[in-house]
Every structure is written in C-alpha cells, then in structure tokens.
Structure 1
C-alpha cells in the first residue's frame, strides 16, 4: 500500500466503496472494527456462512489492503488495516456508529459461540 505524508495508506475511493458494496465484506469490516480482530471460524459463526465464502471475501479485502492478517499457531486473525487512510477509517467508524443494528444479530451469534480462540496479545487499534 502506498502511503501519504502522514504515513497512512492511500486507497482508491472507487475500490474502497466497491468493497463496502457487498454485504458480507461490509459486515466483516464492521465486525473487525467492533471486535478488534477475528479469525475465520468466528466470521463463520457470526455470519452463518460457509468458510470458503468467508475466505474469498477476506482475501479480496486483504488484496485491497483494507485488512491485515497475522498467524498465531493454527489461527489466522484478521483486523482492519491500521495504516488505512483516515478518511476510509472514518467512513467505517461512522457507518458502525450510525447503524449498530446492521451487525447486532451477528454480534449476538459471535457472543453465543462456544470456545473462541485465545489471543496472546491484544489487537492494535
């Protein structure tokens, strides 16, 4: 990802909004923003979608550099890219704040999930 003079990532607005136009990708982004980071099994539980579909959407978000991943043993955790341009991060934050009901059911499913993977370190904001 190219960065601007403030060290933030630059993203093409059209690419950004195309990613947000898909309900699954938007929910993934908002869930990550709300939770800090999540693994694929948590997305599968929260969204009630098959793992291959979730993985395809996460791969696209990663390719567009909207998210980052980190490996921890058998787990791969995903989070919103901390280098994302401020304007793009603000769009996500404002969307979440103005539309909490959009992911309310998904958060409930996530919270009902049995054992969730433990994280050795807290996610970076």
Structure 2
C-alpha cells in the first residue's frame, strides 16, 4: 500500500507531471535541461526528481557534472499505466507546449543519450 500512495502522491504535483511529460518525450533529460524548460531553480527541480525517483517512476545516472533522469524500466504494469495516463493528460495542457518550446532552445549536455543509444548508457 505504501508504494501505491507514494506513486499517486508523486503524480499529484503539477511540476512533477511537467517533468515526467518532458522526460517521456525526450527519453532522458538532465536537471539543467529541466531547469531551462520549466524555468524553475535547480534545487527545486532536483527535489521533485528525487520524489519521482523514490516513487520508482524515474531513475538517474551521473555523468561528469550532469545528473540525467529517465523513466524507470522496472515499474509494475499498473504503475506504468498510471504514469502514461498522467503524461497524456499533461500533454493537453498549454503549459506542456510552452515547456517543449523552451526545451528545444536549451543547450544540451554532451552526455545525453538518445533513444537508440540508451542501452549503452
């Protein structure tokens, strides 16, 4: 029951939903990219990513000075379905389009994986 409440608690925050939607779109993002896209301070983004990681929705990896986040591969089916539904819902919001537009202008770190190379990371 604790895992269930952690996941739905993590999904209840608009900033965390915005983070999840951008990561779902891009496969993997670093904190610096999220800061640029969401226009929020780095400590706030990191705190929200930690909550999402503790709920087993995201995983992180460190590469030099960057911390990169991607969706967890090992979440249960019901959890993945809840995450996908939440992401689909946020995509309908005008804020998502604004976040994507800002993300397209953010300088990307050289260590970022694309979808084809993720297994090698």
**Would you call these one fold, judging by a TM-score over 0.5?**
yes
Shift, 1:101, TM fit: 3.2
Give unmatched runs, 5+ long, in structure 2.
Answer: none
Residues matched between the structures, number? 114
Q: Which runs of 5+ in 1 are unaligned?
A: 1-9
Distance 1:49 1:63, change over 3 A: same
Indicate conservation of the 8 Å contact 2:18/2:90, yes or no: no
- TM-score normalised by structure 2 residue count: 0.82
The aligned residue for residue 29 of structure 1 is: 20
Residues 1:109 and 2:102 aligned together? yes
Kindly provide the CA deviation profile for residues 39-92 of structure 1, in whole angstroms up to 9, marking residues without a partner as x.
011110111101111111111112222211111122111011111111111222
5 Å-filtered alignment, 1:34-73, equals 34-73=25-64
Checking the alignment, whether the CA contact within 8 Å between 2:21 and 2:90 is kept in structure 1 is: no
Moved over 6 A (4+): none
Q: Flag the 1:104–1:65 CA change in 2: closer, same or farther, 3 A.
A: same
Q: CA RMSD in A?
A: 2.1
User: Is the 2:24–2:71 contact (alpha carbons within 8 Å) kept by the matching residues of 1?
Assistant: yes
Question: Which SS does the other structure have where 2:108 is aligned?
Answer: coil
